[in-house]
């Protein structure tokens, strides 16, 4: 399993690439009693998600001492986890709130199995309180910071190690009786900073983060992963390999068009001046505005009305009212973030893949990796990479799975672009002209 006690280990401390080392899995009851469950753990799962404000997880125990009844467990317990790889010395150290028991089954007279579900304490706290507060002339990051510090009273260490970026725009916002995390998720899409138009709020192993997509993808590439069917005897050679890949989404032009992935239009009615303006935004504007790879996933093919995917203006219309011309209010500047966010979020979900690698607890959501996607070939050919689908991907979800003798990290990857330039459409040819009009 984790420690391989009594075994001669290589200099890295690894026998296999899936090795892990548990320092603590301790349940703390509401009366202060500590229960070590490390030795009865059958499976431990930890989850990070770019769209989730907190980390979650679950642990399955093979319990021969009836801990549930002996310690009167009822949901007011905590679990403290410290887990590492022998070669890393950068453990995940977290304290979570136990909130649910499931899948309880009885074996012999004394043995039972069950799963305990846990989450960050802030999630439970957020469900217990509401915010009714007016913010005047503040940026979105300052509002979110105020909610975390003054409403949820988050431990400063949970914010110091994460990424907290500054946003632009001074907003006048009233939060009308919303739960703290509900309010934060409502505020986040409004944040922008120059060319940065999509901000995420999430928790990873470092703590809470609030930063832009553009900032995250500008950070150094974490790792490059390639397909490997065979696991070598040298664990160091397996860290860059995946033995499973699933393509969840490739392209869906109808869905992307409806969601504004290629183009969208914001229609604003100024209630003060009684004027109307429209703002068009399309994915070609992202080429010089931070995308993961070389090109947006569309070429210049025109429909029978003479429009490309990124030149239509009526496929995704948003009608909103504004009072920006009122000098007593700070302008919301909806045109600076509403259409950009629609295109960004739609584009990012164009391509989705899932891979499984040997356990890597230092990988975090928000990281950028390079995924080499294989191009299918006969057994006699040398395996090549798909030039369109290989490239940079954004880590949107992580599932660390620890079982008795091995750990695996399952990664959800998203990409907003492709690594090769698509060929120009042969618009003037008879074949293309005929099929478009068919």
Q: Encode pLDDT of 143-174 as tens digits.
A: 999 999 999 999 998 988 889 999 998 999 99
Between 106 and 231, the higher pLDDT residue:
106
The tokens describing 260, both together, are 């504004």
Between 172 and 195, the higher pLDDT residue:
172
Distance of CA 119 to the CA centre of its chain: 16
Query: pTM of the entire structure?
Result: 0.89
pLDDT score of 287: 56
Angle at 55 between CA 16 and CA 342, to 5 degrees: 110
pLDDT tier for residue 187 given thresholds of 50, 70 and 90? very high
Tell me the average pLDDT of the chain: 88
Contact 199, 337 (CB under 8 A): no
Give yes or no for residue 122 having a pLDDT over 50.
yes
Q: Encode pLDDT of 293-328 as tens digits.
A: 988 888 888 888 889 998 898 899 999 999 999 999
Between 208 and 16, the higher pLDDT residue:
208
pLDDT score of 160: 87
Between 396 and 16, the higher pLDDT residue:
396
pLDDT score of 154: 95
Contact 312, 304 (CB under 8 A): no
Between 141 and 313, the higher pLDDT residue:
141
Q: Encode pLDDT of 78-95 as tens digits.
A: 999 999 988 778 899 999
Angle at 213 between CA 207 and CA 214, to 5 degrees: 125
Strand duo 56-63 + 41-49: pairing: antiparallel
- All structural domains of the chain, each given as residue ranges with its CATH number in brackets, are 21-124 (2.40.10.10), 127-215 (3.55.50), 253-347 (no CATH)
Give the integer Cα–Cα distance in Å for 406 and 331.
54
Give the integer Cα–Cα distance in Å for 136 and 130.
19
Phi, psi (deg, nearest 5) at residue 396: -100, -20
pLDDT score of 13: 58
By mean pLDDT, which of 11-15, 344-348, 362-366 is the weakest?
A: 11-15
pLDDT score of 438: 75
SS3 271: coil
pLDDT score of 49: 97
Q: Report, in this order, helix, strand and coil percent for the chain, each rounded to 5.
A: 20, 40, 45
pLDDT score of 290: 79
pLDDT score of 401: 96
Q: Report the candidate in 297, 315, 261, 307 with the shortest Cα–Cα distance to residue 436.
A: 307
By mean pLDDT, which of 7-11, 34-38, 247-251 is the weakest?
A: 7-11
The tokens describing 231, both together, are 């696991």
Using a pLDDT cut of 70, give the percent of the chain over it.
92
Q: Encode pLDDT of 212-254 as tens digits.
A: 999 999 999 999 999 876 666 666 667 788 989 999 998 898 9
pLDDT score of 234: 65
Give yes or no for residue 7 having a pLDDT over 90.
no
């Amino acid at each position: 399993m984790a420690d391989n006690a009594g075994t001669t280990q290589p200099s890295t401390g690894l026998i296999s690439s899936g090795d892990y080392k548990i320092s603590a899995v301790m349940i703390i009851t509401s009366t202060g009693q500590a229960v070590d469950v490390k030795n009865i753990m059958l499976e431990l799962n930890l989850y990070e998600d770019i769209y989730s404000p907190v980390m979650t997880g679950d642990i399955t125990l093979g319990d021969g001492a009836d801990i549930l009844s002996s310690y009167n467990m009822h949901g007011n317990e905590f679990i403290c986890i410290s887990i590492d790889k022998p070669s890393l010395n950068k453990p995940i150290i977290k304290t979570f709130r136990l909130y649910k028991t499931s899948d309880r089954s009885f074996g012999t007279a004394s043995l039972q199995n069950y799963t305990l579900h846990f989450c960050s304490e802030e999630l439970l706290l957020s469900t217990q309180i509401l915010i009714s507060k007016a913010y005047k002339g503040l940026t979105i990051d300052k509002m979110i910071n105020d909610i975390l510090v003054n409403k949820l009273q988050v431990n400063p260490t949970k914010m110091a190690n994460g990424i907290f970026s500054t946003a632009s725009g001074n907003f006048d916002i009233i939060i009308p009786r919303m739960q703290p995390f509900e309010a934060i998720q409502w505020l986040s899409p409004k944040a922008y900073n120059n060319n940065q138009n999509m901000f995420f709020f999430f928790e990873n192993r470092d703590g809470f983060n609030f930063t832009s997509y553009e900032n995250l993808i500008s950070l150094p590439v974490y790792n490059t992963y390639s397909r490997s069917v065979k696991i070598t005897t040298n664990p160091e050679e397996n860290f860059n390999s995946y033995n499973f890949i699933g393509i969840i989404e490739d392209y869906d032009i109808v869905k992307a068009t409806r969601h504004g992935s290629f183009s969208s239009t914001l229609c604003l009615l100024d209630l003060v001046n009684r004027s109307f303006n429209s703002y068009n935004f399309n994915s070609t504007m992202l080429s010089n505005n931070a995308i993961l790879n070389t090109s947006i996933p569309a070429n210049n093919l025109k429909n029978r009305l003479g429009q490309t995917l990124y030149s239509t203006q009526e496929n995704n219309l948003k009608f909103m009212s504004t009072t920006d011309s009122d000098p007593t209010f700070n302008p919301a500047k909806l045109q600076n973030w509403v259409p950009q966010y629609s295109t960004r979020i739609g584009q990012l979900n164009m391509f989705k893949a899932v891979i499984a690698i040997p356990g890597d607890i230092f990988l975090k959501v928000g990281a950028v990796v390079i995924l080499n996607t294989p191009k299918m070939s006969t057994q006699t050919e040398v395996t090549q990479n798909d030039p369109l689908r290989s490239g940079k991907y954004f880590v949107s979800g992580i599932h660390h799975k620890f079982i008795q003798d091995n750990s695996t990290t399952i990664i959800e990857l998203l990409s907003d672009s492709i690594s090769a330039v698509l060929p120009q459409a042969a618009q003037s040819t008879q074949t293309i002209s005929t099929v478009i009009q068919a």
